[in-house]
Amino acid sequence: MNYLPLFPVYVVDFIGALLMVIFSLIAFKYAKRLTELQPKSVLWTYMFWFSMALVALAVSRGVGHSVRFVLLYFGYPHIWKSIAPISGGLNTITFTSVAVLTFYYSNVRAVIERVRSDADALYHANIQLQKAQEALKKLNQNLEQMVEERTRELRESEKKFRGLFEGSKDLIFFCNEAHVIEDINPSGVELLGFEKKEDIIGRPFKDFFKDEEHWKDLNKEVHKKGHATDFETELVRADGSIIYVILTISVMRDEFGRVKGCEGIGKDITKMKQVTESLIQSEKMASVGQLAAGVAHEINTPLGIILGYAQLLEEDFEDNKEAYESLKIIEKQANICKRIVADLLKFSRSSSDDITTELDINECINDVLAVTEHSLNMDRIYVNKNLSKDIPHIKGSKEKLRQVIINILNNAHHAIGNEGIIGIWTEYDKEKNEIKVIVGDTGEGIPPEIQHKIFDPFFTTKSVGKGTGLGLSVSFGIIKDHGGYIEAQSPPKEKRFVDAGMETVMIIHLPVKKEDNEKRNDS
């Protein structure tokens, strides 16, 4: 029992070894729980293996010390000496394992730091990704809103354009690169005399030009400048009638700058041109009228003297047949000159003072036909009357209106010569509040090159001695005094006159005054 004095040491060693085993097992238990909670955690895995090595060390050392103490206590030191190397080896191995795991902690720590750094980077990247996703979501929402707003703006713009296109009173059209009409507005369809746009779409625009040279000039200008502005020309309507238009055309290009067609606007200036020509004619008539009045008065005096002396000389030379015949020729030619002067005075004289009589224009026409129809029938010219009963009375001069009708009938007679028809129509235009007297004939028509001259004084197509050329000029002045105007159409613009065989129509426009309309309505 030599070892008993060390008994307290052995007891402390035994208890320490036992506590070491207990605490290592507790650490192992918690390390295992952490590993189960987070099996992918490197730290907790490391702690689990470190705790396991620590348990092995504690068990190896504790069991070795306990066995040594028991064997020494009971007097078997020789047995301890035989197993002591084994216990020491186990202790060394377990201690070495713990040491190795302890030294490996720095590497594990570095791995953990790297993993943590990567995790932080991934976390921050995830945050940035979430922010980018939110920004993308907002951008997408804004983009949808922008697209919706842009679509609404385009829809509104298209609606405005469509309203302008459909509602415009001017001709608006679009052509492709081959100058074929692709679209046209309702006013354009109406202006060209068609019922629906399908009748126009697909047709070349040049088909509507009266003069092919005008089309070539327009096409050349558009190709050269890219546009044409205020190009005046004549277009042919569906019924063959002519309208005057001013065209403004621009080239359309695609995103590559290539020509893909053209767009254009046309304004109908037919009425404006007629009014302009009427104003020009009126100014011309006024100037010529003043000149005619002066000339007539100057000629009248010497003409009267020539005629008087010729008649006196006839009495003195009744027995001299040759001289008498010469004086008769002088008298005859002087009378012709006198009649021309009288026509000049009629042309120049204002007659506004005697156009206040209420009259029926149909009655005036019938009065004239009663006198002239027989001579017309002698040349096999027949009159086709279409006098409307539903027309109001107007105020004017019966004699002067009869003179106008006679002049127009005489011109129609001359245009026909022999065998033909003269058509006479009367009608009331409620919209314009005017009466129209239309006189047409089946003659040769008026050549286009002289149509603008027919109302000029002294202009005539008749041979010498057949007329003075003052008939239409005088008629024009008389109708002007009545507040109206005369329009000549050759060929006629309305299909009904063409169907009736008329080559020329003279249209007399006579306004109906408000008080005349009121009387008509009262009756």
Which has the closest alpha carbon to 249: 294, 215, 281? 215
Do residues 84 and 123 share a domain?
yes
Do residues 387 and 518 share a domain?
yes
Do residues 504 and 402 share a domain?
yes
24/59 Cα distance (integer angstroms): 9
Name the strand (E) or helix (H) holding 261: strand 259-268
Q: At 237, which amino acid appears?
A: R
* Strand ranges in 51-92 using DSSP code E only, listed in sequence order: none
- Give the domain-ending residue among 213, 245, 268: 268
User: Could you give the number of structural domains in the chain?
Assistant: 4
pLDDT of 351:
45
Domain at 221, CATH number: 3.30.450.20
Name the DSSP letter for residue 180: B
The answer to whether 447 and 434 are in contact (CB under 8 A) is: no
Left (φ > 0), alpha (ψ -120 to 50) or beta: where does 469 sit? left
57/93 Cα distance (integer angstroms): 8
Do residues 325 and 256 share a domain?
no
The answer to whether 402 and 368 are in contact (CB under 8 A) is: yes
Do residues 387 and 338 share a domain?
no
446 inside domain: yes
426/406 Cα distance (integer angstroms): 16
Order of all β-strands in the sheet with 434-441: 381-387, 420-429, 434-441, 504-511, 485-489
pLDDT of 30:
83
148/172 Cα distance (integer angstroms): 30
Is the dihedral angle over the CA atoms 102, 107, 110, 115 positive or is it negative? Answer: negative
Do residues 358 and 504 share a domain?
yes
475/122 Cα distance (integer angstroms): 104
pLDDT of 481:
83
Do residues 260 and 358 share a domain?
no
Do residues 361 and 505 share a domain?
yes
CB count in 10 Å sphere of residue 186: 15
154 inside domain: no
pLDDT of 163:
65
Label residue 416 exposed, middle or buried (CB < 10 Å: 0-12, 13-18, 19+): buried
The answer to whether 188 and 173 are in contact (CB under 8 A) is: yes
The whole domain housing 28 covers 4-136
pTM of the model as a whole: 0.40
396/475 Cα distance (integer angstroms): 14
pLDDT of 456:
65
158 inside domain: no
CB count in 10 Å sphere of residue 266: 23
CB count in 10 Å sphere of residue 253: 12
505/497 Cα distance (integer angstroms): 8
Strand partners, 429: 434
149 inside domain: no
166/157 Cα distance (integer angstroms): 14
Task: For strands 381-387 and 420-429, give the pairing.
Answer: parallel
CA distances, 519 to each of 253, 474, 512, 522, 523 (Å): 62, 31, 11, 5, 6
pLDDT truncated to tens, each residue of the chain (523 aa)?
444 456 676 677 777 777 877 887 887 888 788 778 877 776 677 677 777 777 777 777 777 767 776 776 677 777 777 777 776 676 677 767 666 666 666 666 666 677 677 777 888 888 888 888 888 877 777 777 777 777 777 777 666 666 676 777 888 889 998 889 998 888 888 888 898 888 889 999 999 998 889 898 988 888 888 888 889 899 998 888 888 999 999 998 888 888 888 988 888 888 877 777 666 666 666 666 666 666 666 677 787 788 787 888 888 887 888 888 888 888 888 887 777 676 666 655 544 445 678 889 999 888 888 777 877 888 898 999 999 888 899 888 887 888 888 888 888 888 898 889 999 999 998 888 899 999 999 988 888 877 666 766 555 555 434 444 456 777 887 888 888 888 888 889 899 999 999 999 999 999 987 655 555 555 4
pLDDT of 464:
39
314/326 Cα distance (integer angstroms): 9
Name the strand (E) or helix (H) holding 396: strand 394-396
pLDDT of 169:
81
Rounded to 10°, the helix 7-37/42-73 angle is 160
